Amino acid sequence: MNLNRRHKLTNEEIEHVKRITNSGKLYYDYDPLIESARNCAYETCRRYSRHEAGIDELRPLFKELGKNPGIAEGFITEFGFNLSIGDDFDAGCGLKIIDCNEVSIGNNVTIGENVGIYTSNHAEDPGLRRDHWCSELPVRIGNNVVIESNSVVLPGAIIEDDAWIRPGSVVLGRIEADSICAGDPARRENK
């Protein structure tokens, strides 16, 4: 990995990276354009966390960022251009969104501290994994969702509207609408 590779990608370069990472197929994670996009996003997020940049400087990273976002320090996104967030979003400290594939988050979503949302799967084959090959699955989070602190949302997860994810949960697969879930893996609690 070359941490010095960093430039704001053109729209054409972004579309090229998306064709690679959003395909669901294995790809080499240290492609020079992928490294540049990642390093540019990381640097912007670091500046935001150090209060050297405001939400207006963070906003261009995103595919979409709705009205009234509240994003605490420690926020990291892998690229940003695969990340869509609706209105009235509130995130605690230490939110990590690895958006190598599309991550869509609806309106009125609250996320606690130290939550990770990941699209990335490393290669199953140890040799390919060692050589930095990955594949990605999208993540979808509906409207009016609460994800409490120290939870992890894994590649391919879908959290439907009005769901509540309790602290420390690991979300994989589909979480039904209007459910309260907890555990590893997160399962519906009895009401």
Is 51 tagged catalytic? Answer: no
Question: Residue 92's closest CA among 119, 116, 56, 59?
Answer: 116
Q: Extract the tokens encoding 116.
A: 């990770």
3-state secondary structure 11-39: HHHHHHHHHHHCCCCCEECCCHHHHHHHH
Cross-strand bridge partners of residue 174: 158
**Where in 3-56 does DSSP place strands (E)?**
27-28
- Given the residues 16, 51, 122, 132, select the one marked as catalytic: 122
CA dist list (Å): 45 to 21, 71, 190: 21, 11, 39
| Positions marked active-site | 122
